[in-house]
Chains A and B, each alone.
Chain A
Amino acid sequence: MSELEQLRQEAEQLRNQIRDARKACNDSSLSQITAGLDSVGRIQMRTRRTLRGHLAKIYAMQWATDSRLLVSASQDGKLIIWDSYSTNKIHAIPLRSSWVMTCAYAPSGSYAACGGLDNICSIYSLKTREGNVRVTRELSGHTGYLSCCRFLDDSQIVTSSGDTTCALWDIETGQQTTTFTGHTGDVMSLSLSPDSRTFVSGACDASSKLWDIRDGMCRQSFTGHVSDINAVIFFPNGNAFTTGSDDATCRLFDLRADQELMMYSHDNINCGITSVAFSKSGRLLLAGYDDFNCNVWDTLKGERAGVLAGHDNRVSCLGISSDGMALATGSWDSFLRIWN
């Protein structure tokens, strides 16, 4: 038997072992276990603030860790830092490229980042001595579009790219500290774990992967979706995560069970999901669909608990603040709305 044939057999055996191990601990389904749980009731949220100032579709947003400021990126080629309490614009940052796909706020509040079709992750210092905002670093190295970026701290940022890789960057030197390879499709989204030791990525190869930030290894791979994964978000306790896909479903994957626990879908829904967020407890899952609709799901029971916007579907991106008190949605009509 040739060596290649032996390796193939070994790989096949390992795959079977993994499948059997997963089956062995799959003794029940999440919906069976939560059957007796009280339903979360109808969720009806109200707009509390409207943030006006952008001139075109909002592509992405992220809350700052103080749950008060937030950053938004729009097709008008601007990053705007908002005070969601007063609706004032703190900074309006012109970008070199209008085709921005992601934006991020550093936990310290001192930096913002964005990237898109320019393949570059640009880092902006928000607290310069002169009081203005300027680019401090342009992290180039990816050979594909920058789909998502998330700060670990003021000196490290993780990015995902259309070149099928993710990378950890040292902002000071502008170099990639670690490259995470393994996906066989454009990586569309990433989410840092609450302890910042790992992150999960979702890609157009319909799989999501858990990566160890320190050593660059892929610790776990999750399959189940039948089409591109567009969005991923960690569950608040770090033991699970949810993905949103073009197959019109969101799925909850558990790290310890190493498999899918629940699927959030409905026969009436045949539109892809492009953004996901959890409420602070994790009981509610917010999913933004490509027809600009937004559904609220009961994470535990797998039922739909509400719809965010009734008439004009407008949601192009969404995010929940870390104190759990507000949901921000960005829209194609250039406004952001704060709800709870």
Chain B
Amino acid sequence: MSDRIADEEPVAVTHTGPKGVINDWRKFKLESMDQEALPPNKRELLRQMSSPHKPRDSCVGGINRKMSAQEYELIKEDDEKSLRKYRKQCMQEMHERLSFGPKFEGVYDLDSGEAFLEVIEKEHRLTVVVVHIFKDGVQGCEVLNSCMDCLATEYPSVKFCRISAAATGAGERFSDDVLPALLVYKAGELLGNFLAVTQHFSEEFFATDVEAFLNEYGLLPEKECGPGADEDEADVE
């Protein structure tokens, strides 16, 4: 989870905080400026900014500065149209980056503790794994199973699995009063642990309730049409 972005970029750049702003601005300048029309010294500066091997920070006299004097001069009134285009592009890139990964169909039945461990540890590091621990006869398990069948079709990038408490090999840990249980993993880490998850729902619940619940904890990815990605650039009222 931590080095995902560093893996996919040639240079490790900061995305958040003040340095994030500096890097976003640099990227914007590089993409929006017509390089042919530039005077030679500015072209040279842009070439330096885009070079992956030159250290970003300038250490003059032992002082660690993040922006060079020439860069400060480059900051002027930015072209609003290119800015709008740039923002949309940034968001689109991020959405695309996160929808990459293997796709799944239906809910997977796990039949043993080993299968359980295997699915937690061996999936792609971007894949969210939702495991439903159930027991036949316990209230809510059957409904939750059909909810998961629905959600599995709506979220193909999430791997939904189910395993009976007895099959886990740790049956004593899962007494009837903590079932059904939902465990959510990613890259081998436990992100969400919801014992007796049905206590959060009313007696009759549907796939949308389970979906809303998991969304509140930030555990589900966005659906295919991302929010805000297709909206007009209407001004904020």
Listed in ascending order, the chain A residues whose CB lies under 8 Å from chain B are 42, 44-48, 52-57, 59, 75-78, 80, 89, 92, 97-102, 116-119, 144-145, 147-148, 162, 164, 184-186, 188-189, 204-205, 228, 230-231, 246, 248, 268-272, 274-275, 288-293, 307-314, 316-317, 332-335, 337
Mask, B99-113, CB within 8 Å of A = 1, is 000000000000000
- Docked CA distance A104–B16 (Å): 17
Residues of A within 8 A of B5 (CB): 271, 290-292
In the complex, are the beta carbons of B21 and A162 less than 8 A apart?
no
- Docked CA distance A171–B216 (Å): 41
In the complex, are the beta carbons of A118 and B75 less than 8 A apart?
yes
Interface hits, B30-73 → A, CB 8 Å: 57, 62-67, 72
Residues of B within 8 A of A54 (CB): 236
- Docked CA distance A270–B4 (Å): 10
Listed in ascending order, the chain B residues whose CB lies under 8 Å from chain A are 1-6, 14-22, 24-25, 57, 62-67, 72, 75, 78, 83, 87, 90-91, 94-95, 98, 128, 158, 184, 186, 189, 191-193, 215-222, 226-228, 233, 236-237
In the complex, are the beta carbons of A75 and B75 less than 8 A apart?
no
| Interface SS of B by simple majority | mixed
- Docked CA distance A55–B191 (Å): 29
In the complex, are the beta carbons of B3 and A291 less than 8 A apart?
yes
| Interface SS of A by simple majority | loop
Residues of A within 8 A of B66 (CB): 162, 186, 204
In the complex, are the beta carbons of B17 and A274 less than 8 A apart?
yes
In the complex, are the beta carbons of A145 and B18 less than 8 A apart?
yes
Residues of A within 8 A of B227 (CB): 52, 333, 335
- Docked CA distance A292–B6 (Å): 12
Residues of B within 8 A of A307 (CB): 189, 191
In the complex, are the beta carbons of B17 and A188 less than 8 A apart?
yes
In the complex, are the beta carbons of A312 and B98 less than 8 A apart?
yes
In the complex, are the beta carbons of B16 and A270 less than 8 A apart?
no
Which chain A residue shows the least CB distance to B99? A312
A168 to chain B, nearest CB (A): 20
In the complex, are the beta carbons of A185 and B65 less than 8 A apart?
yes
Which chain A residue shows the least CB distance to B1? A293
Given contacts A270-B2, A274-B20, A289-B2, 11 further A-B contacts (CB under 8 A): A57-B87, A99-B21, A102-B18, A144-B67, A145-B18, A186-B66, A271-B5, A291-B3, A310-B184, A311-B220, A316-B15
In the complex, are the beta carbons of B1 and A291 less than 8 A apart?
yes
Residues of B within 8 A of A332 (CB): 15, 90-91, 94
Which chain B residue shows the least CB distance to A316? B16
